[in-house]
Structure 1
Amino acid sequence: MKKLQNLLGLILLIFFLFTGNANAQNDNSYPGLDNSFTNLSSNDSISLFTGAFAFARIGGENYAGLRLQPELNFGKVGLGFDIPVYFNLQSGELYSDEFKNGTGVLRLISYVRLGRKKKDPVYLKLGQLQGESIGFGSLLNNYSNSPSFEKRKVGLSYDICVKKIVGIEGMYSDFNTASFNLFAIRPYVRPMGASGIPVLKTLELGMTYITDQDQTIRFDSESGKNEFLSDGIKAYGLDMGIRLINSRIINLTAYTHFSKLAKVKSDSLAAYQQMNAPSQNYGAGKGMGFGLNANMNVIGNLFRLNSRIERLWYTDNYLPQFFDAIYEVNKDAKILALGDASSKQGIYGSITASILDKIVVGGNLLLPDNVTEATPATLQLNLRTKDLFDKIIIEGYYTKANLVDFGDTFHFDNNSLAMLRFAYKITPVLITGMDYRWTWNQQNDGSYKADNSVMPYVALRFKF
């Protein structure tokens, strides 16, 4: 299995490097950032039906059956479903864990969407969330509310702008009645939005508030809940951005931000720190930064590029983009990391590119000036091909958090999330392929552990 992991990592790295000069998201109407390219979803303008006959290994048990995944799009309205019909090969029982607790059968709906973020005045998305960003991403960036394949959550993402001047964007991670989960809200204003004055009309100022009091069952935990979130965590941010260049070929946005992670007031956290790190001086942490975000579009869809580069400064007990793709896996571990985080400065960079809308590849890297266990790096890679080959489909994503030694970039462990898909179109509607996933699976005792699975399948997929 280790050889397979290394091979998969090498394939992803080759694609990332080989097409590193390749596309990105389209020109956005507003300067706020939209990282939705990290979500490997279908085109917003077409409807699809996918029915995959597959074998799966979940929580140490073997299952066989099919997964129905229709996606309906009607203009600005989109609706996605994810309906598992798996039977345990030993007991013959229907797999129903996805419908237990909280929202229950609502998990059959993968998402409901209205509009497109940063392109339409009204954007709403209810369901599974991936690649979420609030404001310019200083606190919440590339966030996913469902890191476990079989334990999806139902959340809400929205962005509403009134008369091009006043707006509000935000997110709620999980409509589970057990607790008040990750909640983010950012009111913003564009003082000159309705003026029509070039450049100045794009000036945007925003204020972010984030809190999380999650008491639901946690990933990778035998105790069940996030012990250090008994009284919640709070974060605050201020940001400002303006579009400097807005042409048919390139647009360039400059932005700056300041944010604060308040001290987590938890008796269990204090007791843990007293026992394991009595000399540790843990308190609130602050960070600030400035950067540039650029979009390039050359000769229609021949070449598109989105890139972002940002300079960061932060104090003790602060980690930039604290609410990220790995946050939902182990929130207690993220909070403990704040106690060890020391004052640092570093660089965040990302790139997404495409050629002829057939190869879409992207990646981002959060790199402190001095990478240590207290201030690790975080890497994400994304790949999607569309009609690159006549009958072959290749797509995938990879996230590596808490990265200290770059020699371990493709070492799959508890800090990794990955999916890689190879598929072949037998006919225009019949597809066979194989998915490789590195994710978290539920064990018999209710805990979660990192695990991998290979899922061969035959699927029906057609447009209508």
Structure 2
Amino acid sequence: MRKITPFILAFLFCAFFAPQKAKSQVNFEFESSFDNLNSLDSVSVFSSAFGFARIGGQNYAGVRLNPELRLGKVGVGFDIPVYFNLDDGKMFTDEFKGGTGLLRMISYLSYGKKKKDPVYIKVGQLRGEHVGYGSLVNNYSNSMSFEKRKTGISYDICIKKMFGVEGMYSDFNTGSFNLFAIRPYVRPFGASKIPVIKTLDMGFTYVKDKDKNKRYDESNDINHFLEDGMSAWSIDMGITLVNSSVFNLEWYAHYSQLRKVESDSLKTYFAAPETLASYDNGTGMGVGINANMKVIGNLFKLNARIERLWYSDNYMPQFFDAMYELNKDAKIAQLGRAEKQEGIYGSLNASILDKIIVGGNLLLPDDISETSPAFMQLHLRTKDLFDRILIEGSYSKGNLTKLDDAFRFDENSLALMRFAYKVSPILYTGIDYRWAWVEKDNGKYKIDNSVMPYVALKFNF
């Protein structure tokens, strides 16, 4: 609780004392992300769902309250579970145990929008996070469990359109030093009116992790290889080549290094004859373009990104990704066997009438193997489709060594699918399907799936 207080105070200060009439730090209207295509999050919403849930092998019934309050650039989201065990009648309280406790009822506090406002801060659950142009931290999520949410912070602050700092910290819930990333950057001509040149952006990213928390795999062991910490750094730059009300095109490049992890346990692991690993610092670089298009208002919006990657032995691009929290030891161990490689990263997101929003991204090495796996994400969101139907879904697949296994659910998969039917203007009935990590009674985590029917109340105000 004490550790998060300074960040909460900083958030409140920025929310209420930042200049309200400041212009956005960049001119274009888009950002390379799935969520940014959605303009449905600009109003306050009250929603609550009554239904059944299976958590950690136990059956529960109750209600989950999810109001979201928005006042100008300030947003507050709540996630309040009120579930009772169907066998013994006890209330489910595991979500509030440890670390920040009851603060987990606040799913997020936010101010502004990243890369659109001079001040952006978000405190709470982190999903799809990136720092800079994503060479090290990209599509990162701080929790692999829906019930055991973590409280982190993401921010981006730019002063006078020229100097800024962005970054994140993954988890205030524990006493160890968890994933930390910071990127100071400069836009040398940001305050000028010179076309194209004024958008030039250069930054330096530093990442550090000394996590001592339990892993999500069933061994429930600590992160041994992080006993002395892991660090990485990168330099990057980008420039907006075309910028209009209907189209923008951005070019960027980056170079990064994953520093050798100096850990006695890791040295012992690599010394074993069966590992055959030669381990040292690893480096990588990439060049890419990011394009955004908007046709006739909200009729159609599109974001497309394509990037070519080159990297050395002992390096994996976008190392801190959506699957990083799953088993950090295993991922670090992969670096010892990772060979020189090339690959492609691409993403495509589209919005139609703000009713259907669909997208995905793929990190694809030229030669997929156990030491150079692929990573894939898919997203879908609809709002009042045919005035009655709501569909939401997300799917992540890491450590993908065969494209044929892309849709095979295993311990490297995370999935959420929601289907609801609008019975009346404020009443929905639906069903949720989840494939995620859950905590068992003995404190260990396991991968599990659950089907949860519910009746929900939802309205804007």
What is the TM-score with the length of structure 2 in the denominator?
0.92
Shift of 1:38: 5.0
* Per-residue CA distance 1:328-364 (angstroms, 9 max, x = gap): 1111111111112110001111000011111110011
Return the match for 1:142 from 139, 143, 153: 139
Tell me the distance in 2 between the aligned counterparts of 1:138 and 1:116.
21
Say which SS state the counterpart of residue 336 (structure 2) adopts: helix
Whether 2:126 is the aligned partner of 1:117: answer: no
* Per-residue CA distance 1:137-194 (angstroms, 9 max, x = gap): 0100011112200000000000000000000000000012420110000000000000
Return the match for 2:362 from 361, 365, 374: 365
Q: Equivalent residue for 1:380?
A: 377
Paired AA for residue 247 in structure 1: S
Q: Equivalent residue for 1:412?
A: 409
Whether 2:390 is the aligned partner of 1:393: answer: yes
- What number of residue pairs does the alignment pair up? 438
Paired AA for residue 384 in structure 2: D
8 A Cα contact 1:219 1:440, kept in partner = yes
Shift of 1:278: 5.1
Q: Equivalent residue for 1:262?
A: 259
Tell me the distance in 2 between the aligned counterparts of 1:32 and 1:360.
17
Q: Equivalent residue for 1:239?
A: 236
8 A Cα contact 1:126 1:157, kept in partner = yes
Gaps of 5+ in 2: 1-23
8 A Cα contact 1:301 1:355, kept in partner = yes
Q: Equivalent residue for 1:133?
A: 130
Shift of 1:33: 8.8
Q: Equivalent residue for 1:226?
A: 223
8 A Cα contact 2:98 2:174, kept in partner = no
Say which SS state the counterpart of residue 373 (structure 1) adopts: coil
Between the two structures, name the one with larger relative contact order (CA 8 Å, sep ≥ 6).
1
8 A Cα contact 2:375 2:399, kept in partner = yes
Tell me the distance in 2 between the aligned counterparts of 1:287 and 1:169.
21
RMSD across aligned C-alpha pairs, in angstroms? Answer: 1.8
8 A Cα contact 2:187 2:198, kept in partner = yes
Tell me the distance in 1 between the aligned counterparts of 2:307 and 2:370.
22
Say which SS state the counterpart of residue 340 (structure 1) adopts: coil
Q: Equivalent residue for 1:422?
A: 419
Shift of 1:222: 2.8
What is the TM-score with the length of structure 1 in the denominator?
0.91
Instruction: Name the CA shift for 1:243/1:41 in 2 (closer, same or farther; >3 Å).
Output: closer
Paired AA for residue 171 in structure 1: M
Structure 2 counterparts to residues 26-425 of structure 1, below 5 A: 29=26, 34-37=31-34, 43-275=40-272, 277=274, 279-425=276-422
Shift of 1:42: 8.1
8 A Cα contact 1:308 1:349, kept in partner = yes
Q: Equivalent residue for 1:451?
A: 448
* Per-residue CA distance 1:382-407 (angstroms, 9 max, x = gap): 00112222111011010111112111
Say which SS state the counterpart of residue 334 (structure 1) adopts: helix
Paired AA for residue 389 in structure 1: F
Say which SS state the counterpart of residue 307 (structure 1) adopts: strand
Say which SS state the counterpart of residue 311 (structure 1) adopts: strand
* Per-residue CA distance 1:11-55 (angstroms, 9 max, x = gap): xxxxxxxxxxxxxxxx99368994552599883310111111111
Tell me the distance in 2 between the aligned counterparts of 1:248 and 1:90.
58
Say which SS state the counterpart of residue 176 (structure 1) adopts: coil
8 A Cα contact 2:83 2:91, kept in partner = yes
Say which SS state the counterpart of residue 225 (structure 2) adopts: helix
Gaps of 5+ in 1: 1-26
Instruction: Name the CA shift for 1:456/1:128 in 2 (closer, same or farther; >3 Å).
Output: same
Tell me the distance in 1 between the aligned counterparts of 2:220 and 2:346.
37
8 A Cα contact 1:139 1:321, kept in partner = yes
Tell me the distance in 1 between the aligned counterparts of 2:191 and 2:442.
57
149-158 or 270-279: which moved more? 270-279
Moved over 6 A (4+): 30-33, 39-42
8 A Cα contact 1:44 1:78, kept in partner = no
8 A Cα contact 2:37 2:350, kept in partner = no
* Per-residue CA distance 1:278-298 (angstroms, 9 max, x = gap): 531111110001000000111
Instruction: Name the CA shift for 1:335/1:325 in 2 (closer, same or farther; >3 Å).
Output: same
Tell me the distance in 2 between the aligned counterparts of 1:245 and 1:41.
23
8 A Cα contact 1:33 1:133, kept in partner = no
Over the matched positions of the two proteins, sequence identity in percent amounts to 64
Paired AA for residue 161 in structure 1: C
8 A Cα contact 2:285 2:311, kept in partner = yes
Paired AA for residue 166 in structure 2: E
